[in-house]
Amino acid sequence: MDDILKLAPLEERIYRHRCVEAWSIVVPWIGYSFSTIAKLVEPTPKAKYVAFQSYYDPKQMPQGRWAGIDFPYVEGLRLDEAMNPLALLCVGMYGETLANQDGAPLRMVLPWKYGFKSIKSLVKIRFVGSQPPTTWNLAAPNEYGFYSNVNPNVDHPRWSQAKERRLGEFFKRPTLMFNGYGDQVASLYSGMDLKKNF
Ligand SMILES: Nc1nc2c(c(=O)[nH]1)N[C@H]1C(S)=C(S)[C@@H](COP(=O)(O)O)O[C@H]1N2
Ligand SMILES: [Mo]
């Protein structure tokens, strides 16, 4: 962690956070762009995706067995998504280091995707040639796709994604395409059918 903290100046980034279950919040995260690490690694042209794995010790985390999903939690991004400057390698929030439950010591934050893509407590990052498995896609592939971009036009099979409840507000807000970050990320998906690639 000492080395990781020294790689780039830490930035505070205030991002919208949209849960797949249709609530949202604004969070001041701390970290730097994931691309900083990726550039150090110098992935070969064979690397097309990034695979992330979380910490899991069943002895310390006995309730993991009853979570309803397989642990360790795994996630993935296409390499160009991971290289987007918005993709944050995160070490803190609200001006402090991350609490354990928020993903200490190191997590991802991907503000244009549903919150569950923002994998916490990283222990392994691999640059790989093919699309890596992701936990919620393994658990319920009809409900959670690989991309999981925030999209008000593609509903979850069990609820609408058109609106969201900002925590603390009474009335729902309209959900924004790519959670409002389209200017920065829409080009990553140009020409793709986002209903198929949900
Ligand atoms: N390491 C790890 N990261 C994870 C998960 C997990 O189980 N393990 N769950 C995801 C899901 S489904 C959600 S809803 C959020 C929960 O984050 P919170 O506990 O801070 O609300 O973390 C995401 N990142
Ligand atoms: Mo979740």
Task: Specify the CATH number for the domain of residue 14.
Answer: 3.90.420.10
Tell me, using a 6 A CB cutoff, whether residue 121 lines ligand 1: yes
Place 197 in a pLDDT band, splitting at 50, 70 and 90: very high
pTM score, two decimals?
A: 0.97
**pLDDT tens digit sequence for 66-106:** 999 999 999 999 999 999 999 999 999 999 999 999 999 99
Tell me, using a 6 A CB cutoff, whether residue 86 lines ligand 1: no
Within a domain: 35: yes
Share of the chain above pLDDT 70, in %: 100
Domain that residue 169 falls in: 2-189
Identify how many contiguous H helices and E strands the chain contains and give both numbers. Answer: 5, 10
Within a domain: 196: no
Tell me, using a 6 A CB cutoff, whether residue 116 lines ligand 1: yes
Q: How many domains is the chain partitioned into structurally?
A: 1
| β-pairing verdict for 11-18 and 74-78 | unpaired
Q: What residues are neighbours of ligand 2 (ion), with CB under 5 Å?
A: 116
Three-state DSSP at 29 gives strand
CA gyration radius for the chain?
16
Model pLDDT, residue 52? 99
Model pLDDT, residue 117? 98
Cβ atoms of 121 and 90 within 8 Å: the answer is: no
User: Pocket of ligand 1, candidates 73, 114, 123: which has the most ligand atoms within 8 Å of its Cβ, to mutate?
Assistant: 73
Neighbours of 2 (CB within 10 A): 5
Within a domain: 164: yes
Within a domain: 197: no
Token duo for residue 51: 């695979």
Within a domain: 195: no
